[in-house]
Amino acid sequence: MTTYGRDQVLAMAPDAAAAKAGLSQANLRRWSGCGRNERAVWGECHGSGQLPYQTRAAWADGSTTGREPARLGRRMAGSSHGQAG
């Protein structure tokens, strides 16, 4: 399983604004329904909207689904702590 450090995750951001938003989403208190296996890490991010949104990131290549800030945050939260929040 590949893990990503904070700087590697931030380098995946398309621009500085997405990186900044991703950092705010890395707070584990924003996450629920989290899980991980040998292929991916996933969870629901509680952002500014009424409902949480789902996101996931693959360990192998860093590919993601979900909204950009949450995807970056999920990667950082999952890799920083060695597990999904």
Name the residue ranges covered by the structural domains of the chain: 6-80
> pTM of the predicted model, to two decimals?
0.63
Instruction: For residue range 17-58, list pLDDT tens digits in order.
Output: 888 888 888 888 888 998 989 888 888 888 888 888 888 888
For residues 17 and 33, give the distance between their C-alpha atoms in angstroms, rounded to a whole number: 26
Q: Evaluate if residue 85 carries a pLDDT over 60.
A: no
What is the structure's pLDDT at 26?
83
Mean pLDDT score across all residues of the chain: 77
The CA distances from residue 84 to 9, 24, 27, 65, in Å, are 15, 16, 11, 16
